[in-house]
A and B are shown apart, each in its own frame.
Chain A
Amino acid sequence: MLAPLYDWVDERLKLKPIEQTLLDEPIPGGASWNYVFGSATLFLFVLQAITGMCLSIYYVPSPDHAYDTVQYIENEVWFGWFIRGLHHWGASAVIMAVGLHMLQVFFDGAYKRPREMMWMVGVVLLLLMLGFGFTGYLLPWDQNAYWATQVGINMAGTTPIIGDFIVRLMRGGETLGALTLSRFFAIHVMILPAIMMVGVMLHIFILRRVGPAGPHDKAQAMQGSETFYPRQVYMDAVVMLFVFCILAVLAYTVQFPLADKADPSDHSFIPVPEWYFLFHYQLLKWAPGPLVGYASWALPAAFIFCLFALPFLDRNTERVPSSRPMVMAGGMAFLVTMFVLLGISLRDLYAVPRTDPVIAKGEALVQKFACKTCHRIHGDGANVAPDLSYVADRHPEREWHIRHFKDPQSVSPGSFMPKFPLSDTQLNNLTSYVLTLKSGKH
């Protein structure tokens, strides 16, 4: 059906040569599953762009409304939770895809002459991607967004001489507030995408001018080549489907609710950065006082410089990994350090259960009203009234608990539980705590 239309357009615009240039690019050594990471990254970037455009339909970048609009998307707009879920998980996936793509290029020595520029543009694209992650994290304007961004900005503030200026520039003034949110939004949805598009085009342009590196194994490279279409395109498509399915399943099954609305006066909140910044976050915990500055800006700056200059630091033309022991060892050392730090950081995070302040306040109310005079919770308290250890399994709906606290007999006839004089806030805090009492949560 589309073929006649294509022929009609082709007759006028002469598309066939372009089609051939795009699809018949020779892949040295043949199509391979090793080459799918770049396409997967591009696919994820496009997916982020599409879901991001959708989110911007309802999102408003103002401290007054940002949180409400994200809640609206999450809870009311049809498929809003799905679009936001895709964008949320897609952000992590794109960083992973970039990481794998870079590892493959690093391992294969594909950054070496004549592909130095492709690698350097790639490093810039990585930094832009991290910029997307950092600026996007603030936009929902919940406690986590606010305090994690506060920490991120303060890290930049440890840079000597210009640190203070950088902080003001990033915040758009003295404090993190309305001006910060609107500039982060502009950077996230206008400026970075524009630079990113130019960067991606340049990256692909260089690829097409220089050609793919092919296998580092000479014998394999000598086996000839095949065109990009159809087998490499097919492999890329299979991987895209795989990645898309994972994201869709995550978006469908793992809800990602917001924390409380950002409260600049609540200093008790412990923020957690995105996992891809965690290894650095962990490093900062260990840096002794005078070295914090170096750990937070000098180390990343040095690392980025090395990464950027890698094709010139490593002038050995040999691509086979076994013939480049120093570089491989350096790369391995970085990976091991990063994953160990990430592991320790994750372990620490889960060892100390982070409690939402609302839940903590609710738990305090249990003490205040002496609930355990009658109820038992995880072995603590009297056994006069029902054991509440897993009460949220029996009654997972907030509504039920609210009605129950207001008038116990209305939902539980014959109950001898008294009515407690709870304010609306107390009622909310207490139910938030009670809803955490379920099995599978320790």
Chain B
Amino acid sequence: MEVETPVSSDEAESGVSTPVGTRRSFFARVTAAISTVIGLSLTIPIVGYVVFPAFQRKKQEWVPIAKIDDLPVEQPKALDYTVAEKDGWLETKATKGIWAIKHSNDEVTVFSPICPHLGCGYKWDGQDRLFKCPCHGSVYNLKGVVQAGPAPRPLDTLPVKVENGELLVIYKEFKSGLADQTEI
């Protein structure tokens, strides 16, 4: 423990002197307390400010992409999916191509345009009535089931719903090359 050094009467009269003992530790403690208060009041907002983007998830919204009446039955149709993507403060319009197959007026299957094997874009072969990937030869039928080639899983389907005669889709991407569907 610090002991207060008695100040001689001489010194007290002659004016200023450096504080000692408990007076000294009082000033030290107040200074430390103030540093802590200012430090924390700055650190907390700054940490929040810096980590903010790490906690942001892309919002997935239903986007209308076609009138249900315009789609042929049991015939795949390539459609454009246009969505305003927000990348921080940057807003851009992105367009992705998707495959839609109408079974009835309220039942539609929509496939992601990316081959689940290694991520190429596959095509529809109207003669063979099969989806064929030109990169490594994966082949899928109308239901997306693998018919041939190295693909580890069926084509990825996207969430879909029909409202007021319009087809609405949420676009998602999945990891390629895995037997299980894993969203990116």
Contact = CB atoms under 8 A, between A and B. Distances in A.
A137 to B, nearest CB: 21
Interface stretch (A147-155, A227-235, A373-381, A403-411): A227-235
A202 interface: no
A15 to B, nearest CB: 17
B92 to A, nearest CB: 12
A244 B45 CA distance: 14
Interface in B93-145: none
A177 interface: no
A224 B30 CA distance: 25
Contact of B15 (A30, A69, A80): A30
A47 B42 CA distance: 9
Residue from A69, A234, A240 with most neighbouring chain B CB atoms (10 Å): A234
A241 B89 contact: no
Nearest to B13: A223
Interface string B15-33: 1111100001001101100
A234 B30 contact: yes
30 contacts: A47-B42, A50-B42, A50-B46, A54-B50, A57-B49, A58-B88, A60-B89, A65-B89, A68-B89, A68-B90, A76-B89, A77-B49, A78-B49, A79-B45, A79-B48, A83-B45, A224-B14, A224-B15, A224-B17, A226-B18, A226-B19, A230-B27, A231-B18, A233-B31, A234-B28, A237-B30, A237-B34, A240-B34, A241-B38, A244-B41
- Interface size on A, as a range, is 35 or more
Contact of A230 (B28, B88, B90): B28
B50 to A, nearest CB: 7
B37 interface: yes
A71 interface: yes
A248 interface: yes
B75 interface: no
B48 to A, nearest CB: 4
A192 B21 CA distance: 44
B88 A224 contact: no
Contacts of B46: 50, 54, 79, 83
A29 interface: yes
B60 interface: no
Contacts of A72: 88-89
Contacts of A237: 30-31, 34-35
Contact of B16 (A54, A223, A234): A223
A42 to B, nearest CB: 14
A65 B35 CA distance: 37
